[in-house]
Amino acid sequence: MLYLIGLWESVREFIATGGDVLYFVAAALFLMWALMIERYWFLTAVFPKLKSKIIADWDARKDTTSWYAHRIRDAWISQASDALNARLLIIRTLVAMCPLIGLLGTVTGMITVFETMATQGTSNARVMAAGISMATIPTMAGMVAALSGLFVSSRIEAKAKMAKEGLVDSLPHH
C-alpha cells in the first residue's frame, strides 16, 4: 500500500511539474489504450466465433455458385470487415492527437516563461526553469503516449487485415 501511495505522489509531482495539459494527454492515452485493448479482445475472443458462424452459414448453403450467392458472400465479408475495422480510425486519431496535445503544453509553458520574464525580469532563473519544465514535459509525455499507441495500433491493424484475409480464404469461391 505504501508503494502505491509513493507511486501516486510521483504521478502528482509529474503533473504539477508539467502542467494541467498532462490531464488531457492522460485522458487521450487512457481512451486510446481502452480502445486498443477492446480491439485486441475482439480479434482474439469474439471474431473467431463470428468467423466460424459465417463459415458454417456458407457451408450450409445449397447454392454457393450463383451470382446471388456470391453477393451474399461479399456482404458477409463486408460486414465482418466493418466489425474488424471498427474504432481503428479513432485509435489512429488519438495516436496523432497525443503529440499535438503535448505541443499545446509547450505553448502554455512558454507563455508562463514569458509572463515570468515580463513580471519579474530575467534574473529569476528558478521560476523560468519551472516554466521551461512545464513546456518540455507535456511534449515528452505526448510523444511517449503516441509512440506507445503507434506500435500496438499498427499490430492490431495488421491482425485485423490478416483475419479478414483468413475469412475470405475460408469461404470457397466456387
pTM: 0.84
63 three-state secondary structure: coil
Q: Within a 13 Å sphere around the CA of 37, how many CA atoms are in the beta-carbon half?
A: 6
Q: Roughly what angle, to the nearest 10 degrees, separates helices 21-41 and 2-18? A: 120
Give the residue-averaged pLDDT of 111-126: 76
Q: Where are the alpha helices (DSSP H) in 1-66?
A: 2-18, 21-41, 47-60
Provide mean pLDDT across the span 123-134.
Answer: 73
Q: Is the pLDDT of residue 10 over 90?
A: no
Q: Enter the DSSP assignment of 62.
A: S
Collect contacts of 64-68 with beta carbons under 8 A, ≥24 apart. Answer: 64/172, 64/174, 65/174
Query: What pLDDT is recorded for position 13?
Result: 84
Q: What is the pLDDT of residue 161?
A: 96
Domain assignments of the chain as residue spans, ordered by start? 18-170
User: Quick one: average pLDDT of 56-64?
Assistant: 90
pLDDT band at 110 (very low <50, low <70, confident <90, very high): confident
Q: How far apart are CA 70 and CA 75, in angstroms?
A: 9
Cβ–Cβ under 8 Å, residues 86 and 41? no
Residue 50 host element (H or E) = helix 47-60
Mean pLDDT of the chain: 89
Going by C-alpha positions, the residue among 102, 86, 80 that lies closest to residue 36 is 86
